[in-house]
Amino acid sequence: MSTKSGKTLITANHTAPTADGALHAKRSPRTLAGSAQADDTAARKQTLALYETALKLMQAGKYEKAHSAFLQMLDTAPHDLADRIRMYIAACLSHVSKGTTSFETHEERYDYAISLLNHGRYDDAREHFEQILLKEKAADYAFYGLALLASITGDTQKCIDHLSEAIRLNAHNRFQARADSDFDGVAEDPRFTELLYPEA
């Protein structure tokens, strides 16, 4: 799954948050700094530092920012951290869905919508993509997100329409879509092929 920056997200597993801290902001989530296997590499230290920062954000009730922080480290997290990160991502989503979500930028809203898409919450994801377009009609990445959503839900025509607009606004989306596996469901459609490879 692609973010606005072109970064690929790993779809988070549907791991249910535990009831002993993952869903309660006032209790300190258990950290891994003491239990993780010893590994003094700079990369691991940096990941652990980011992990601790994300946990503190979550503890403070800043679920949108905690969600973004966990999501950013999921790609490169060591195996022993990845499952816990997915659990906290799900917990953040659960908390955010119960309240009013606020975003400082359209890009933050887009990343959140992509996460909803990854978790199968298609109607919620669509609402956030459309909210972006209400405020920024030329947001190519929001059209790209709607194209992803349409592909995943099997609506080929809407996928092509939205992707066409995303490409019209930003030609880079054509190259990004060529490598995006979420379009596999429409890849055999001649209209999709013509859209991505007009020179063929």
Query: Is-contact 103 109, C-beta < 8 A?
Result: yes
Closest CA to 133 of 96, 166, 156, 175: 166
* Topology of the domain comprising 106-196: 1.25.40
pLDDT at 42: 77
Q: What sign does the dihedral 111-122-86-61 (CA atoms) show?
A: positive
Give the other-Cβ count within 10 Å of 136's Cβ: 12
Residue 184 in tokens: 């596999």
Burial of 170 (0-12, 13-18, 19+ CB in 10 A): middle
Query: Is-contact 76 50, C-beta < 8 A?
Result: no
Query: What is the mean pLDDT for each group of 10 consecutive residues in the chain (200 residues)?
Result: 45 38 42 45 80 84 82 80 83 70 79 84 91 94 96 96 97 95 93 89
Closest CA to 177 of 154, 144, 152: 144
Query: Is-contact 147 166, C-beta < 8 A?
Result: yes
pLDDT at 28: 42
pTM for the model? 0.57
